[in-house]
Structures are given as C-alpha cells and as structure tokens.
Amino acid sequence: MSTMTAGPAESTLAAADFDTLAGGLTEPEAIAGARAAAWERFTALPWPTKKSEEWRYTDLTKVGFGALTPVVPAPATAEALPADVREVLGRSGERAGVVVLREGRVAHLELEPEVARSGVVLCSIRDAAERHPEVLRRALLEAQPGPAEEKLWALHLALLGGGYFLHVPRGVEMPAPIHAFHFVERAGTVSSTHSFVSGESGARVAVIDEFLSDDLEAETVSLHGATITGEGGAGIEYVALQRFGRGVKRFSTQHVAAGRDSRIVTFNVTLGGDLSRADVTSRLDGPGSSSEMLALWFGDSDQHFDHHTLQHHAAPHAHSDLLFKGALTDAGSSVFRGLIRVDKGAQLTDAYQTNRNLLLSEGSHASALPNLEIEADDVRCSHGATIGQVEDGQLFYLMSRGLTRRQAERLLVFGFFDEVLGRLPMEGVRARVREAIEEKIGL
C-alpha cells in the first residue's frame, strides 16, 4: 500500500495561482467544472514522498512547485517555430496531420483533406468538449488513476492548458502518422497538455507526440497526460518522444485501454530534461487484446529518468509484452518499476516484462524492480531485468578500427537500442525516433 505524507508543503501551488489561471480562460462548462473539481482534489491530497514504494527513487521535495507560475495559454500562432520543426512540417507524404502546441495552446492544426473525408476527427481538447463531451468525459475527466499518480494527475487536470483529440472511425486506416509538437518556451512555469487517441473497430493509426524546448535557466515543469483507447480489432501505435532542454522536469501519465482483438503499441523515448517521470498503464479489457509497451532512454550529465509501468490483464486470452531499455553515462540515473497484474478471471494470459540497462560510466546508476501479481491459475507470465556495463572486448574491437572510446560507446548504445526500434512497424515513426537518438548520442 502506498504511503503518502504532507510532503513539501512549501512547494504547494497557491489558490491565487489557480484563480488567475481559471479566470484567464474562456472554456466550455464541462472543462471548467472538471478543472475546479481537480484543483479541489489536488489541494486535499498529500504529496507522495520517498516513503512510498512508487516514489522511493524520485524525490518530489526537490521540485519547487511553489515557485512556478501556471501558464495561462494565450492565442498562439505557428510563427517562429524552430527550424527543425519547420523542416518536418514542410515534408509531404510523411504525415496525415500535424498539431503544434505552444505553452499548451494549439497554435496550428491540419489534417490531410482525404483523411478528413474518411471521417477522421482531429481537433483541440476545447473543441472536443463541445462536439464530443461524453467521450471526453469518460476517457479524461472520469479516469481513475492509481494512488501513486493521483496527486500529479489532479494537478495535470487542474492546470490543463490544452491538447488534441484524435478519433479514427471504424475500418479507417491512416496512410501516415499524426505528428504533434509540444513546445515549452517560458522558464519558471508549469504547463499541462493532454493527448486523446481513439480508434474504433478495425481502425489503424500511428501518432507521434514530440516534446521540445531550449535549455531554460529557471526550473520549469511540464505535465502531460495521454489517453489511448482501441475498440475491437483496432491497431494503434503511440510514440512519446521527449527532447526537452535542460532545466525542464516532466511528469507524464499514460492510460491505455485495449478492447477485444485490438493491438496497441506504446513507445516512450526519453532523451532530454533534468528529470522525467512516466507512469504508463496498459489495461487489457477485451479477450484477444494485445499490448506492446516499449521504451528507451539515454541519460547523461545528472539526468534522472523514472518509469513506472502496469500491465493490467482484466480479460482472458490477452497478451502483453514490455521491453524497456536504458543507457546511462556520467552521473545519469534511472529507475524502472514494473508490475504485471492478472485478475482472477483473466485466464490464458500471456505476459512478458523485460528491462535492460547499460552503464557507460562508474558514476551512472540504474534500479530495476519488476513484479508480478497473479490471481488466475492458467497463465504464462515472466519478468526479468539486467544491469550491466559495456564489454571491454567490444570497445577494443571498435577502437582498433579507428574509433575513439566515446565514439565506440555511442555506436554500441545504438546497437543496444536497435532491438526496441525494430519493433516499431511504421518506418516513418522509426525514422523520426532514430534521428532524435542520433542527435542525442552524437552519431
């Protein structure tokens, strides 16, 4: 059972901050009401502390929430975007749609005309609250996060500045990914966005959420939530690519619901920021459903990356497979805590959980904590984790062919990640992730 205490009282956001945010927004009543309820819940809940198993390795008292200013999203435009994003937006045939969010507000949104004619809906969260209020309410506003997530989830909803809503109707296969860019630009702020992806029976869709900022001089916090739901036979790929600059701390919560015979792939790539915490839950609600949970991270300097996962088998004849790989150098550190939970009626469950960690320096550190919680008696479940260093023989071989030690290490890291990258079916998504990794590790 999780232990919660009052935590960093001095870091609690003030009611005046929330009043300023809420007073500066004009939004549908559904969102305004949910925002107020979330703020009330946030102020009532204690902060999780290191006494909690789920937060033992990540100390929230070191995050100065009380000194941060909630972002009041202003009308935004896509002007003055970074050059690499303008270059991606200028490509043709590689995306079915694009969303640009600046400080939480949608600055640019487009959907290929042919895709729109097929019935696909891509709009802002604000528009979704007016056009699809019941769908949004069930998936976002009525979500029941776990105890470890609850405090930050309530803050995420209370400060929600915007996000997007993507719905793919029955049988529609998207020809290319939807690419969303989330920009954090103002230092000393806390901002919040949400991504909603839904596929009806037989739908096929891939989405990339990319998180970007420059290096920021003052501590800055980004909150993000994602809701991914697939109905019977749907196929969804969701990629979160975190490339924040230094000074940014990111807290992310992802909720996946897989219906009968659906297949949902989530892929979390963590490269930037000072601190990144991702809570990823995949719930298999329908027989024949499949969840593939993938992640990779590369941490250097004093970066700290924390991943907390749950594979929740609520239905029989379902399959889940988790593969998380991380590489660390300098004084970088990471945590993986994973749980496979199998409900009593979820017979014939097939579930796997694997975490691999590669340490490139004496100062780097990884913690791996895989777990099982099984109530059914006819299942096949396994879990495992390893933490190891680069083999001297491999380094010697590469260095004998003219590479420096640093170059050899980076090449081995890319090879270490290749197993995960190869499991992304859509080439366009793989290419974007490879570009980001190459930039980070200096290949």
User: Could you report the per-residue pLDDT of 426-441, keeping only the tens digit for each?
Assistant: 777 788 888 888 888 8
pLDDT (0 to 100) of residue 65: 86
59-116 tens-digit pLDDT: 998 898 888 888 876 665 556 666 766 766 666 557 899 999 988 888 889 999 999 9
* Closest C-alpha among 221, 213, 210, 252 to residue 100: 210
pLDDT (0 to 100) of residue 1: 35
pLDDT band at 10 (very low <50, low <70, confident <90, very high): very low
- Which residue has better confidence, 404 or 288? 288
Global pTM?
A: 0.91
Q: Which residues contact 271 (CB under 8 A, 6 or more apart)?
A: 241, 242, 243, 297, 298, 436, 437, 440
Specify the DSSP class assigned to residue 1.
Answer: -
pLDDT band at 14 (very low <50, low <70, confident <90, very high): low
Specify the DSSP class assigned to residue 74.
Answer: P
- Which residue has better confidence, 212 or 140? 212
Strand partners, 382: 352
Percent of the chain whose predicted confidence (pLDDT) is above 70? 87
- Which residue has better confidence, 138 or 203? 203
pLDDT (0 to 100) of residue 73: 65
pLDDT (0 to 100) of residue 128: 85
Cα separation, 140 vs 227, whole angstroms: 7
- Which residue has better confidence, 34 or 214? 214
Instruction: Return the top range by mean pLDDT from 13-22, 123-132, 154-163, 311-320.
Output: 311-320
Q: Give yes or no for residue 399 having a pLDDT over 70.
A: yes
The mean per-residue pLDDT over the stretch 168-197 comes to 93
SS3 content of the chain, % helix, strand, coil (to 5): 25, 40, 35
Q: Give yes or no for residue 154 having a pLDDT over 70.
A: yes
Contact (CB, 8 A) for 234 and 206: no
Strand partners, 267: 239, 294
Q: Give yes or no for residue 271 having a pLDDT over 70.
A: yes
The mean per-residue pLDDT over the stretch 338-343 comes to 96
Cα separation, 394 vs 289, whole angstroms: 40
The mean per-residue pLDDT over the stretch 10-26 comes to 61
Pairing assessment for the beta strands 160-168 and 121-124 based on DSSP bridges: antiparallel
pLDDT (0 to 100) of residue 25: 62
pLDDT (0 to 100) of residue 400: 81
What is the number of H-type helices and E-type strands within the chain? Answer: 10, 20
- Which residue has better confidence, 30 or 261? 261
* Closest C-alpha among 432, 402, 406, 430 to residue 418: 430
357-381 tens-digit pLDDT: 999 889 999 999 999 999 999 999 9
Name the residue with tokens 């960690």: 357
Q: Give yes or no for residue 195 having a pLDDT over 90.
A: yes
Q: Give yes or no for residue 6 having a pLDDT over 90.
A: no
Angle (CA) 309 292 432, round 5° = 100
217-258 tens-digit pLDDT: 999 999 999 999 999 999 999 999 999 999 999 999 999 999
- Which residue has better confidence, 395 or 386? 386
Percent of the chain whose predicted confidence (pLDDT) is above 90? 56
